[in-house]
Chains A and B, each alone.
Chain A
């Protein structure tokens, strides 16, 4: 009797896309009546989710997507969600660019998302957020704007992981204050967070935004490299950072306003993470980020008194990241419908895919799946660092 060795699992491919054996290729026979072709993205700020798996630890050197006949204007991100719909990794937000009808690549980088935001117009010494789920190792920035005749500093952010003050500035003749606090949980946490101003320090209202950042080197000061502040009364809140420590580092801005002015949805290559205002007293906070450097951190509002806080976020760099053996979802997000991508639309794909609409700020920390329209875009990741 001859020796019959057991097989190993098929190695994961160099390029793993939504059309891979590790994704929807086995279900794709019906859709293979015609090839994927260039076409417009289905809807602005929509996310498409396609299932996939990897059988061994995978060294992800680059993300890729296949651009169509038109590049430019819109920003594209691809991501991996685990089977429990938690965001695992994402590409940095990247402007559609390069040669038409060709692959575009993005190396690993910082990406952000809003977790929760809110406001409270009651007089109080503390304000409580909605219940949130925070993941160990992720950078969370809590941006708080508060008001009072002389607005107090936030004294602590309680009930969850340890938060540390990173930037604060009073504005509007000290009647308002904008602050940024950071935390990197050591264990997962689910619950509310309490924004405290200390006993007797009653504020007349507050607005807040909790934003999460991934692919951050949190070893020192939670990954916050530097901060800057600014104040004024105009349409352009601004804080000016010093030169960045690395071209890979990201930029984050929190802009408090003493009005109900909304922030522009996108502003000078920034994506808006939150836009919170309250009427009585009139106040609000708007948070933005971009995955790269910008020393002049600004947004656009209707003219008002403003206070701006900005921080530089330290990236883990552009080296490969390791994907553990897992099953989950490959996701793609596009900020508009001008740029085109290769895709195949076929009803036979609908049962195996999902979408999420109106994801204005990119990928959420937790996906909320809705029925698919069977549009399978060509995107994924590769272990190849070049070519």
Chain B
């Protein structure tokens, strides 16, 4: 009788981020150290996969050096572009160069699978981003949508376009109950 090992147990990690080498197919390599001005009412969609059921408790993002007031939105989408869950109209904070968390996201048990994580903002303030050639983000499967409604309102379903940005914001979801 051959040896059959039991299924290894791997707990869910603390976070799944837009630049995560394990959960995203990142082709570029620059660190998220650049302050890049946003395009008002732009949404970015980053494909990711997870093999572990985990609870998404909140979202985090990193504001840049500006102190402009802004509203931010996050969401998770299925591969058919329909929304799993969205949170819009979050006050984005005015402190420069600071990491921030949402506080009103409804806990979501995310099943193993492939999804898109979404981030949108209604201002032109800056965020901490990586700054690779735009094609390297396209090759990772990243997409965008412009002209979102007030909120910014992440749509359902999303209607994405080819990614046209040479940057990607540094954001992600918390899989732990304690905020960053």
Residues of chain A having any CB pair with chain B under 8 Å: 4-17, 19-21, 25, 32, 34-38, 64, 66-67, 101-103, 342, 378, 380, 382-384, 387
Given A11-B113, A13-B49, A387-B143, do A342 and B136 touch, yes or no (CB 8 Å)?
yes
Closest residue of chain A to B23 (Cβ to Cβ) is A10
| The 9 residue pairs across chains A and B that have the minimum distance between CB atoms | A6-B7, A15-B141, A10-B51, A14-B47, A19-B27, A103-B138, A11-B49, A13-B25, A14-B141
By a CB distance below 8 angstroms, the chain B residues around A7 are: 7-10, 51-52, 112
**Besides the contacts A15-B139, A17-B139, A382-B141, what 4 more A-B pairs have beta carbons closer than 8 Å?**
A5-B53, A15-B25, A35-B28, A67-B135
- How many residues of chain B have a CB within 8 Å of chain A? 37
Main secondary structure of the interface of A (DSSP, over half): loop
Alpha-carbon gap, A15 to B27, bound state (A): 10
Given A6-B6, A384-B79, do A11 and B114 touch, yes or no (CB 8 Å)?
yes
Are B138 and A17 interface neighbours, CB within 8 A? Answer: no
Closest residue of chain A to B24 (Cβ to Cβ) is A13
Tell yes or no: B140 within 8 A of A by CB.
yes
- What 0/1 readout, one digit per residue, does chain B (50-62) give for beta carbons within 8 Å of chain A? 1111000000000
Are B135 and A383 interface neighbours, CB within 8 A? Answer: no
A-B contact pairs, 10 of them (CB 8 A): A13-B141, A17-B27, A19-B27, A34-B29, A36-B136, A102-B138, A102-B162, A384-B79, A384-B141, A387-B143
By a CB distance below 8 angstroms, the chain B residues around A20 are: 25
Alpha-carbon gap, A205 to B28, bound state (A): 57
Q: Which of B1-50 contact A (CB under 8 A)?
A: 6-10, 21-22, 24-30, 47, 49-50
Q: Separation in Å of the B150 CB from the closest CB of chain A?
A: 25
By a CB distance below 8 angstroms, the chain B residues around A16 are: 25
Main secondary structure of the interface of B (DSSP, over half): loop
Alpha-carbon gap, A235 to B176, bound state (A): 74
By a CB distance below 8 angstroms, the chain A residues around B112 are: 7-8, 11
Closest residue of chain B to A37 (Cβ to Cβ) is B133
Are A35 and B51 interface neighbours, CB within 8 A? Answer: no
Q: Which of B114-167 contact A (CB under 8 A)?
A: 114, 132-136, 138-141, 143, 160-162
By a CB distance below 8 angstroms, the chain A residues around B30 are: 35
By a CB distance below 8 angstroms, the chain B residues around A102 are: 134-135, 138, 162
Are B9 and A13 interface neighbours, CB within 8 A? Answer: no
Are B49 and A342 interface neighbours, CB within 8 A? Answer: no
Alpha-carbon gap, A75 to B10, bound state (A): 45
Are A35 and B140 interface neighbours, CB within 8 A? Answer: no
By a CB distance below 8 angstroms, the chain B residues around A15 are: 25, 47, 139-141
Given A14-B79, A66-B136, A101-B134, do A8 and B141 touch, yes or no (CB 8 Å)?
no
Are A4 and B49 interface neighbours, CB within 8 A? Answer: no
By a CB distance below 8 angstroms, the chain B residues around A67 are: 135
Alpha-carbon gap, A14 to B51, bound state (A): 14
Closest residue of chain A to B45 (Cβ to Cβ) is A387
By a CB distance below 8 angstroms, the chain B residues around A66 are: 27, 135-136, 138-139
By a CB distance below 8 angstroms, the chain B residues around A34 are: 29
Alpha-carbon gap, A55 to B86, bound state (A): 30
By a CB distance below 8 angstroms, the chain A residues around B162 are: 102-103, 387
Closest residue of chain A to B132 (Cβ to Cβ) is A35
By a CB distance below 8 angstroms, the chain A residues around B132 are: 35
Alpha-carbon gap, A231 to B9, bound state (A): 71
Closest residue of chain A to B143 (Cβ to Cβ) is A387
Closest residue of chain B to A10 (Cβ to Cβ) is B51
Q: Separation in Å of the A235 CB from the closest CB of chain B?
A: 42
Closest residue of chain A to B160 (Cβ to Cβ) is A387
Q: Separation in Å of the B163 CB from the closest CB of chain A?
A: 9
Closest residue of chain B to A17 (Cβ to Cβ) is B139
Closest residue of chain A to B133 (Cβ to Cβ) is A101
Q: Separation in Å of the A95 CB from the closest CB of chain B?
A: 18
Are B25 and A19 interface neighbours, CB within 8 A? Answer: yes
By a CB distance below 8 angstroms, the chain A residues around B143 are: 387
Closest residue of chain A to B47 (Cβ to Cβ) is A14
By a CB distance below 8 angstroms, the chain A residues around B133 are: 35, 37-38, 101, 342
By a CB distance below 8 angstroms, the chain A residues around B8 are: 6-7
By a CB distance below 8 angstroms, the chain A residues around B26 are: 19, 25
